[in-house]
A and B are shown apart, each in its own frame.
Chain A
Amino acid sequence: MITAIQRLGRSGIDLTQGLGRSGVFIAKAIVRPPQLRQWFGLLCGEIYQLGVLSLVIILVSGLFIGMVVSLQGYHTLVKFAAQPELGSLLALSIVRELGPVITALLFAGRAGSALTAEIGLMKASDQLAAMEMMAVDPISKVIAPRFWAGIISLPILTLLFNVVAIYGGYFIGVHWLGVDGGAFWNNMHMAVNFRLDIVNGIIKSLVFAIAITWIAVYQGYYSVPNPSGVSQATTKTVVVSSVFILGLDFILTALMMGGW
């Protein structure tokens, strides 16, 4: 009985310590001034690794999700003879919710786990310790470029996902299911507001980007320095990021729909 309560207390203390450590860690990554000559090259390399290499999965998923939403939406709307509204259904679902959330989940799975694994392996093979001994700050050379690269890549990926999904849905809706093309785009224009829907979608993807990249680099940097530790850290990144994405999505949607 007593040991159980002790264990509970221990995990509570560990959790709080972990939160504090991650906060201090990310503050160091943001605040330390970069050495501008190397900085651009490092950042570019990281955007390539995180953003460009994720393009395939994001674009293919976007296409299929747009097509499925359009197909399912059509079959429900046609019961109310409301299929001209398919455009607004598709655009609002994608731009407000599916775009940011699914892109973030895919990004967490692909880029987040890659980040954690890379940094975890650097730690396990003592590369980070070696950098410190050479007076090269591992945080500003390894962590910070990856952090900023993630924050830049995810909103761009979200926008590309949105575009591909909407066009995919357009092709299925108009050219296969026979919805009137003019009504499709027109109703979409009336339903989608740039400031309220598209900008809010971008804000969501920024918040998700910060959460995913923060969790990924933290888990990598503080992983147990052996192979099973790295694999645990990678799994934890994906699981914790996914939970945070969905939780933050709900909170942000509640704030946005409530009109901020």
Chain B
Amino acid sequence: MRSKTAEFVVGLFILAGIAALALLAFKVSGTGHIMSRKTYEVNAVFDNVGGLKPRATVSLGGVEIGQVKSIQLDPDSLEANVTLSINQKYNAIPDDSTPSILTQGLLGANYIGIIPGADVDPDAVLKQGSKMMPGKSAMILENLIGQLIYGMKSDKKDDAKTTPATITSQ
């Protein structure tokens, strides 16, 4: 079947396939997203990154300004070294800003929130390769529960110590 109609339809078919690929690339996988424009990398150090993963959001004031590029353990200081990729257009972040690891919602994914620092010097901003101030580590649920239980136990011990005294003193 070599008619012109068949060739045209096959051409349309192949074009539709290419269009579908482009649609998948841009609308589904988010290529062309914030991260494919120019970015610069900064380094942040944490004691505990919790559940933070690469490609997690980096936000300032709730607005997404970049992504986590990689997370590595520094073998000498045994601290977590996190590389952040920040979009070039946010190039006036003071270099004494503090990164902290927050949770989306209550039990959601971890992301990095940056609290801007107070340095007004226009040159003291984050640039490619800057090292940020030491960051606030992730909140580990188990540690919190442990603290709560320990707190409850010591409250009970205090109660147990004071109760006999109050009874006898009456």
When distances are taken between beta carbons in the complex, the residues of chain A under 8 Å from B13 are 47-48, 51-52, 55, 153, 156
Instruction: Evaluate contact between B30 and A163: CB separation under 8 angstroms.
Output: no
The 6 closest A-B pairs by CB, nearest first: A189-B30, A156-B17, A159-B20, A41-B2, A45-B1, A192-B29
A45-B6, A91-B28, A95-B24 given as contacts; is B17 within 8 A of A160 (CB)?
A: yes
A48-B6, A51-B13, A155-B17 given as contacts; is B23 within 8 A of A163 (CB)?
A: yes
Binary contact readout A151-180 vs B (1 if CB under 8 angstroms, 0 otherwise)? 011011101101100100000000000000
Q: B10 is contacted by which of A51, A157, A192 (Cβ under 8 Å)?
A: A51
Instruction: Evaluate contact between A194 and B20: CB separation under 8 angstroms.
Output: no
Instruction: Evaluate contact between B28 and A192: CB separation under 8 angstroms.
Output: yes
Q: List B1-53 residues whose CB lies under 8 Å from chain A.
A: 1-2, 6-7, 9-10, 13-14, 16-17, 20-21, 23-25, 27-31, 33
Q: Is A188 an interface residue (CB 8 A)?
A: yes
Instruction: Evaluate contact between A95 and B28: CB separation under 8 angstroms.
Output: yes
- Give Cα distance in the complex from A185 to B32, angstroms: 14
When distances are taken between beta carbons in the complex, the residues of chain B under 8 Å from A160 are 16-17, 20
Q: List A178-200 residues whose CB lies under 8 Å from chain B.
A: 185, 188-190, 192-194, 197-198
Instruction: Evaluate contact between A44 and B20: CB separation under 8 angstroms.
Output: no
Instruction: Evaluate contact between A156 and B10: CB separation under 8 angstroms.
Output: no
- Give Cα distance in the complex from A153 to B16, angstroms: 11
Instruction: Evaluate contact between A198 and B7: CB separation under 8 angstroms.
Output: no
A162-B24, A198-B25 given as contacts; is B2 within 8 A of A190 (CB)?
A: no
- Pick 5 A–B contacts, CB within 8 A, sort by A: A41-B7, A45-B2, A48-B10, A49-B1, A188-B30
**How many Å from the CB of A235 to the closest CB on chain B?**
27
When distances are taken between beta carbons in the complex, the residues of chain B under 8 Å from A156 are 13-14, 16-17, 20
Instruction: Evaluate contact between A44 and B7: CB separation under 8 angstroms.
Output: yes
When distances are taken between beta carbons in the complex, the residues of chain B under 8 Å from A185 are 27
Instruction: Evaluate contact between B1 and A48: CB separation under 8 angstroms.
Output: yes
Q: Is the interface of B mostly helix, strand, loop or mixed?
A: helix
How many A residues face the partner with a CB closer than 8 A?
A: 32
User: Which bucket holds chain B's interface residue count?
Assistant: 20 to 34
Instruction: Evaluate contact between B31 and A194: CB separation under 8 angstroms.
Output: yes
Q: List A61-106 residues whose CB lies under 8 Å from chain B.
A: 91, 95
- Give Cα distance in the complex from A157 to B65, angstroms: 37
Instruction: Evaluate contact between B31 and A48: CB separation under 8 angstroms.
Output: no
When distances are taken between beta carbons in the complex, the residues of chain A under 8 Å from B6 are 44-45, 48
Instruction: Evaluate contact between A192 and B9: CB separation under 8 angstroms.
Output: no
Q: Is B55 an interface residue (CB 8 A)?
A: yes
Chain A residues with CB under 8 Å of chain B are: 41-42, 44-45, 47-49, 51-52, 55, 91, 95, 152-153, 155-157, 159-160, 162-163, 166, 185, 188-190, 192-194, 197-198, 202
Q: B24 is contacted by which of A51, A152, A163 (Cβ under 8 Å)?
A: A163
When distances are taken between beta carbons in the complex, the residues of chain A under 8 Å from B55 are 190
A160 nearest in chain B by CB position: B20
**How many Å from the CB of B58 to the closest CB on chain A?**
13
When distances are taken between beta carbons in the complex, the residues of chain B under 8 Å from A189 are 28-30, 33
- Give Cα distance in the complex from A153 to B23, angstroms: 18
A45-B2, A198-B25 given as contacts; is B30 within 8 A of A52 (CB)?
A: no
Instruction: Evaluate contact between A198 and B17: CB separation under 8 angstroms.
Output: no
A193 nearest in chain B by CB position: B29
Instruction: Evaluate contact between A194 and B7: CB separation under 8 angstroms.
Output: no
Binary contact readout B56-85 vs A (1 if CB under 8 angstroms, 0 otherwise)? 010000000000000000000000000000
When distances are taken between beta carbons in the complex, the residues of chain B under 8 Å from A157 are 17
When distances are taken between beta carbons in the complex, the residues of chain B under 8 Å from A55 are 13
When distances are taken between beta carbons in the complex, the residues of chain B under 8 Å from A162 are 20, 24, 28
- Give Cα distance in the complex from A63 to B29, angstroms: 19
- Give Cα distance in the complex from A152 to B30, angstroms: 26
Instruction: Evaluate contact between A197 and B29: CB separation under 8 angstroms.
Output: yes
A159-B17, A163-B23 given as contacts; is B28 within 8 A of A44 (CB)?
A: no
